[in-house]
Every structure is written in structure tokens, then in C-alpha cells.
Amino acid sequence: MLAGKTIVITGVASGIAHRCAELASEMGANVIGIDVVKPEKTIGTFIQGDLSTQAGVSAILDALPENIDALCNVAGVSGIAGANITLAINFFGLKNLSEGAALKMRPGGSIINVASMAGFGWRDNTERASAIARIDGFPDIDKVIKDFDIPNQLGYPISKEILLVWNKIASQQKQFKDKGIRINAVSPGPVETPILAQFRQVLGEEKASKDINRVGRAGTPDDIAPVILFLCSDAAKWVNGNNISTDGGLEAAETVEKLNL
């Protein structure tokens, strides 16, 4: 399904992104991987880059070729280092990279944002999430944190709430729609990746264990990567502005409980 496509994948050194790169390459894609650290095994072309600053994003964009078919925004941090770096990488770096990459993307391209079940509360926080999602450029993030009263320990779930709201907003924005670029999200639940232990610290051991127990097991990169790559493919050419919960049924469980269905 991906033969001949050029697919850019962030966070490629490990976890879900690394598995995406492996599968995409096996399916015939030309892979361009991006990460702040060099992977042990390079798949396709590798660009070392930092999403946490405007300068870092600009350097990545300068290194990207023309005629990209898809951008998979998989890179992210757990929130353990605080709200500033978490918002920088999980949202503002992602957003600025997407806007810049769109200029180098073929018409009919695809952007896939890896969100999280941790962003489930976006519907309860739409005013805050929408206001932050509409901030142009790479702002003073400490000021954003202060202006919107973001607790340091909640940087991760709030970053994913903002991302899920932006995912819908961006799918309707002229800069993407004029080129027919589709924008979708994938929201995993707990996944066995190198930073799962950090998520347990950030979200709480009780919450993490409860979520895993509700669906029977933690996910794996093999559970998530095929869904991301489906959204890269022409098979998903009529899918836009959506979020696919790839979580073993965790969102359904949360919804049934919250709405007393």
C-alpha cells in the first residue's frame, strides 16, 4: 500500500516510531526518520533533529526533501521532565513541523498525529485546548503555562488534549485543505515502549495498572504501527479530521463509565 511513497517519521529511534519505519520500509516506502538521538539501526534516511525549539524545527524542515507523501508525528515525551518541554515537543514542535512539512508535501498527502488516551478529557477542556491550539508559531511556553494555569504535573495529558483539538481544527484549515492534505490522529492506550515506566510515574501506578487491566494487556508497537501506516495510505483517502482510538477498547470503557451508558 505504501510502495514508492516518501514517509517522514519522527521519534524513529525507538518504540512505535521505530516499528512504523520497519513496516513502512517493508511495504515499499522511502522512509525518512527523525529523532534527537541516532537509532541503533537506521532505516532509510536519518535526520538528527530536535523538535523542542523553533530553531530545531526549522533545521529539520531545511533538511527535508520536496514531494513528501506523509508525515507521522510519533515523537513525544512522557511529561516527567515538566510541562514546558512536554508542551514544546508534544504540541508546538509537532504543529510547527506539520505546517512547514505541508509546504513540501504532495497534493493529497497525509499527516498522522500520535495522541493518547490520556487526552480523553479534551471535551471537558475545549476552551483551553482550542485557545492554545490556535497560537501561532513557537510561543514563550512558560508564558502559556502561566496564562492558562497549567499544572506542571499535568503537562502530558494537557498536551494531548491540545493535540486532539488541533487535529480537528487543522483538518479544516486552508493551508492543508487547499492541497488535499488529510490530518488524523491515533490514540494509543498504555503501550509497552521504553518510556512506559515514566508514564506510570506521570499518570500514577494505580491509573496505569487499572487501564491495562481493563483491556487485558498493554499494547505493543505492533498494535499501533499498522493503524498509523493505514492512515498514510490511499486506502484512507476519505478519512480526515478523525481520531482512531487504538487502545484495546479503553476509550469505550471510559465512555461507558463516564456517561453511565
Instruction: Read off the C-alpha cell for 237.
Output: 483517502
Instruction: Kindly tell me if the per-residue pLDDT of 202 is higher than 90.
Output: no
Mean predicted lDDT score pLDDT of the chain: 95
C-alpha cell read off for 62: 531545511
Burial of residue 67 (number of CB atoms within 10 Å: 0-12, 13-18, 19+): exposed
| Cell 483551553 found at | 128
Is 144 labeled as catalytic in the residue annotation?
no
User: 193 pLDDT exceeds 90?
Assistant: no
> How far is residue 158's CA from residue 7's CA, in Å, rounded to a whole number?
28
Residue type, 188: P
pLDDT value of residue 194: 75
* Domains parsed from the chain with CATH numbers: 6-259 (3.40.50.720)
Separation CA 258–CA 261 (nearest Å): 8
pLDDT score, position 11: 97
Ranges 17-26, 39-48, 193-202: which has the least confidence: 193-202
Residues 6+ apart with CB under 8 A from 221: 15, 16, 18, 19, 20, 191, 192, 193
Segment 139-164 shows an average pLDDT of 97
With 0-12 CB in 10 A as exposed, 13-18 as middle and 19+ as buried, what is 194? exposed
Range 201-219 average pLDDT: 84
Q: What contacts 70, CB < 8 A, 6 or more positions away? A: 5, 6, 7, 8, 109, 110, 111, 112, 231, 232
Least confident segment among 1-10, 130-139, 207-216: 207-216
pLDDT at res. 169: 98
Q: β-strands 243-246, 182-188: how paired?
A: parallel
The pLDDT assigned to 195 comes to 77
- The one catalytic residue in 156, 166, 176, 230 is 156
pLDDT of 207 higher than 90 = no
Q: What's the confidence (pLDDT) of residue 98?
A: 98
In the predicted structure, residue 136 carries a pLDDT above the cut 80? yes
Structure confidence by residue, pLDDT tens digits, 158-178: 999 999 999 999 999 999 999
Percent of the chain at pLDDT exceeding 70: 100
At residue 39, the pLDDT reads 93
- Whether the model pTM is above 0.85: yes
Phi, psi values for residue 165, rounded to 5°: -70, -45
